[in-house]
């Protein structure tokens, strides 16, 4: 009986840790996306001659960030 209880509690804790790991990974991915990848994509678009795509994208993200922080 104690073994069964041990396994139930073990899998409950393990499942909770897996959920925490996914939330932490998603948070780190968002930070990397906003700080590293998005500026690199914008610079790549400008150097690639796609300024007409980079400007509206930059304006939309800027407006969303202003509204989200207000």
Segment 2-39, tens digit of pLDDT: 888 888 888 888 888 898 999 999 989 988 888 888 88
DSSP 7-45: HHHHHHHHHHHHHHHHHHHHHHHHHHIIIIIHHHHHHHH
Contact 21, 27 (CB under 8 A): no
pLDDT attached to residue 70: 61
Query: Please, are residues 31 and 8 in contact by the beta-carbon 8 Å criterion?
Result: no
Q: Which residues contact 58 (CB under 8 A, 6 or more apart)?
A: 42
pTM, two decimals, is: 0.52
Place of tokens 């795509």: 53
Given a cut of 70, whether residue 57 has pLDDT beyond it is yes
For 39-56, what is each residue's pLDDT tens digit?
Answer: 888 888 888 888 888 888
What pLDDT score does 25 carry?
92
69 has pLDDT over 80: no
């Amino acid at each position: 009986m104690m073994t069964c209880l041990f396994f139930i509690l073990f899998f409950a804790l393990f499942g909770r840790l897996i959920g925490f790991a996914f939330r932490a990974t998603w948070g780190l991915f968002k930070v990397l996306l906003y700080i590293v990848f998005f500026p690199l994509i914008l610079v790549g678009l400008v150097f690639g001659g796609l300024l007409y795509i980079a400007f509206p994208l930059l304006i939309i993200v800027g407006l969303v960030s202003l509204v989200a922080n207000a």
